[in-house]
Chain A
Amino acid sequence: GAVVSQHPSRVICKSGTSVKIECRSLDFQATTMFWYRQFPKQSLMLMATSNEGSKATYEQGVEKDKFLINHASLTLSTLTVTSAHPEDSSFYICGCGSGEAQPQHFGDGTRLSIL
C-alpha cells in the first residue's frame, strides 16, 4: 500500500519553458501533499504544503507565482514551474500524507534540467 506516482521522472527543456509535474496517490487519499526540492548532496527542502481544495502554503523564500500548486482532489496535486531558468534545475519530490499520525510517502521524484 501507500503508492505514490510522480510524473514525469525526468525533464530537459529550454530556459523560459513552463514545466508541469503531477503527483498522484494511487491507493490512498492524500489529505495533504508536500512539494520538496533537493539539490545534490543536500537534504530535502520543503517548498509548499497543500490541502485538497485550498490554497497552498509556501515556505519562506519560495515564490508562489513561480511555483504554482494545484491540489485538485484527494489523489492529485500538480506543481508547475513557470518560466523555468537554469537555477531551477533540481530534483523535485512530492510527499503525500493521509493523516497527522501517518508518515509521508514519496513519489519517485522528477529530475528537472533547464538548459
Chain B
Amino acid sequence: GQNIDQPTEMTATEGAIVQINCTYQTSGFNGLFWYQQHAGEAPTFLSYNVLDGLEEKGRFSSFLSRSKGYSYLLLKELQMKDSASYLCAVRDSNYQLIWGAGTKLIIKP
C-alpha cells in the first residue's frame, strides 16, 4: 500500500530552526508537496519538489531524495505564527495526491 510518515508533533523555540521529516512509499512518484495548515483553516501551499535537492523559499526550504523516499521541510528564524500543522503530500504514478497525517508544530517563546 501507499504510505506517508511524518512525526505527529514537534516543539521548537521562537527564533530557532526546525526540520520536519517525511518518508514515503508510493506507487510511482510525480512530485512532493508541503502545505501549512493553521487550526480551523484550509491548507496553504508552501513548496513543491520533483527533482532531488533543496528548494529554498525565504525562511522555508524543502529537500527531496527520491532514492531514499525522503523529504524534509526546514523552517528558519521561527516565528510564533509558524505554529501550525505541516502536511506532506506525494503525487503518485496516477497523479493522485497521497497525504500524510500532518505534523503539528508548536512554537514556544
User: Are B44 and A106 within 8 A (Cβ)?
Assistant: yes
Task: State whether A100 and B45 are in contact (beta carbons under 8 Å apart), knowing that A43-B100, A43-B101, A44-B87 are contacts in the complex.
Answer: no
Q: Is the interface of B mostly helix, strand, loop or mixed?
A: loop
**Pick the contact of B99 from A44, A101, A106 — CB < 8 Å?**
A44
A42 CB-CB contact with B under 8 Å = yes
User: Are A100 and B87 within 8 A (Cβ)?
Assistant: no
B88: min CB distance to chain A, Å:
10
| Number of A-B contacts defined by CB within 8 Å | 41
CA distance in complex: A93, B40 (Å): 11
Measured as residues with beta carbon below 8 angstroms from the partner, the interface class of chain B is 20 to 34
- Beta-carbon nearest neighbor of B97 in chain A: A104
- Beta-carbon nearest neighbor of B98 in chain A: A46
Complex interface: chain A residues within 8 A of B96 (CB)? 46, 49
B29 CB-CB contact with A under 8 Å = no
User: Are A106 and B30 within 8 A (Cβ)?
Assistant: no
Q: Is the interface of A mostly helix, strand, loop or mixed?
A: loop
CA distance in complex: A107, B31 (Å): 22
- Beta-carbon nearest neighbor of B91 in chain A: A100
A108 CB-CB contact with B under 8 Å = yes
Interface residues, chain B, CB within 8 Å of chain A? Answer: 30-31, 33, 40-45, 48, 50, 87, 91, 95-97, 99-102
A sample of 17 cross-chain residue pairs with beta-carbon separation below 8 angstroms, ordered by A number, consists of: A2-B45, A34-B97, A43-B87, A43-B100, A44-B87, A46-B96, A46-B99, A93-B43, A100-B95, A101-B50, A103-B45, A103-B48, A104-B97, A106-B43, A107-B42, A108-B41, A111-B40
